[in-house]
């Protein structure tokens, strides 16, 4: 088991700076769009872009989470949901509760900046953060982190779980991919993606928790997130998934073993 990763905030990425997004194609102005790609836009969409100084075509295979730079120069992320208004309403309700109780960011939850509806699609905006912990493990060649760094991450995650527990909220999808570093130069983190979260006692969906972080008992309420938390700590320490089952049966067999 390797522990070659530095716990220093200053050299956390060894000079690495993550890109904000894949390279979208830049057009200089709306005239360029009209000349080259007007057929890709509706009349309404083309009218909307008239006042923008720079226009990007992200592409038909773009990720569902889109980066943009607002008028104040702040990078944000928009999450758009297709025909999932009921689930989205629960996520917005949960994020609003957590935002009010985590004004100073002490509970390490990514704050919702705003929510709105655009063409019958529910949307949420967040501040754009850095890479997630899975990407950080990958950058470290899956060798695992020093114990001092794992402890920092563990305490930060527990702060989030403390607030969730006090509000009887279950995240249900805790995993390294949903834990984001705030910047490339420190090890401060934010817990993200409350799209599957629900209140204790609330009816929830048949599919919950990613397989490798799923509690074997299934529907066990608030303890779901604690099981995932333990799996995450083991992975951060060793660099490898604790129970890498290929399917649900294999997953349970590995846990029993």
In-domain check, residue 19: no
109 and 163 in a single domain? The answer is: no
Q: Which of 9, 29, 120, 173 is catalytic?
A: 173
In which band, very low, low, confident or very high, does the pLDDT at 55 lie, cut at 50, 70 and 90?
low
pLDDT for 237-248, tens place per residue? Answer: 999 999 998 888
110 DSSP 8-state letter: P
The whole model's pTM is what? 0.75
In-domain check, residue 4: no
In-domain check, residue 1: no
Domain boundary among 78, 101, 127: 127
Q: Which domain holds residue 42?
A: 25-127
Q: How far apart are CA 231 and CA 20, in angstroms?
A: 28
pLDDT for 203-246, tens place per residue? Answer: 655 556 789 999 887 666 788 999 999 999 999 999 999 999 88
172 and 252 in a single domain? The answer is: yes
Please answer whether residues 235 and 228 qualify as being in contact, where contact means their C-beta atoms are separated by less than 8 angstroms: no
- Domain count of the chain? 2
Provide the CB-side half-sphere exposure for 186 (13 A, CA): 7
Whether residue 250 lies in the annotated active site: no
In-domain check, residue 10: no
47 and 161 in a single domain? The answer is: no
174 and 239 in a single domain? The answer is: yes
109 and 32 in a single domain? The answer is: yes
pLDDT for 130-174, tens place per residue? Answer: 999 999 999 999 999 999 999 999 999 999 999 999 999 999 999
Please answer whether residues 222 and 172 qualify as being in contact, where contact means their C-beta atoms are separated by less than 8 angstroms: no
Q: How far apart are CA 85 and CA 139, in angstroms?
A: 36
Least confident residue range of 27-31, 148-152, 179-183: 27-31
In-domain check, residue 13: no
Any residues with CB less than 8 A from the CB of 119 and at least 6 apart, and which? none
């Amino acid at each position: 088991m390797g522990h070659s990763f530095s716990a220093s905030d200053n050299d956390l990425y060894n000079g690495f700076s993550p890109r904000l997004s894949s390279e979208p194609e830049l057009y200089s102005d709306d005239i360029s769009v009209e000349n080259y790609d007007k057929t890709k836009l509706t009349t309404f969409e083309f009218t909307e872009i008239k006042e923008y100084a720079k226009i990007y075509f992200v592409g038909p295979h773009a990720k569902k989470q889109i980066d943009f730079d607002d008028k104040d120069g702040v990078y944000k992320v928009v999450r758009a949901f297709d025909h999932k208004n009921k689930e989205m309403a629960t996520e917005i309700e949960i994020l609003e509760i957590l935002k009010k109780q985590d004004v100073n960011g002490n509970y390490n939850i990514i704050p919702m900046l705003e929510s709105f509806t655009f063409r019958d699609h529910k949307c949420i905006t967040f501040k754009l953060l850095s890479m997630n912990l899975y990407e950080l493990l990958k950058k470290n060649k899956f060798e695992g982190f020093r114990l001092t760094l794992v402890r920092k991450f563990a305490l930060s995650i527990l702060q989030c779980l403390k607030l969730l527990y006090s509000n009887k909220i279950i995240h249900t999808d805790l995993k390294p991919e949903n834990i984001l570093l705030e910047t490339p130069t420190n090890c401060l983190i934010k817990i993200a993606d409350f799209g599957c979260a629900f209140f204790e006692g609330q009816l929830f969906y048949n599919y919950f928790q990613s397989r490798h972080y799923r509690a074997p008992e299934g529907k066990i309420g608030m303890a779901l997130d604690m099981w995932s938390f333990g799996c995450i700590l083991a992975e951060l320490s060793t660099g490898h998934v604790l129970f890498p089952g290929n399917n649900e049966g294999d997953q349970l067999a590995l846990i029993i073993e």
